[in-house]
A = this chain, B = another copy of it.
Amino acid sequence: MADTWLPSLITETPQQGFELAITLSRRGVKYTQPDAEVLHKLRPEYANSHEALTAASQVVAINFQTVAAANGYWRK
Contacts and interface: CB of A to CB of B under 8 A. Distances in A.
Interface in A17-70: 18-19, 22, 24-29, 31-33, 35, 38, 42, 45-66, 68-70
Contact of A68 (B19, B47, B49, B66): B66
Size band of the interface chain A makes with B: 35 or more
Oligomer: number of copies = 6
Q: Main SS of chain A's interface residues?
A: helix
Contacts of A29: 53-54, 56-57
Nearest to A4: B15
Nearest to A16: B6
Nearest to A64: B66
B32 A42 contact: no
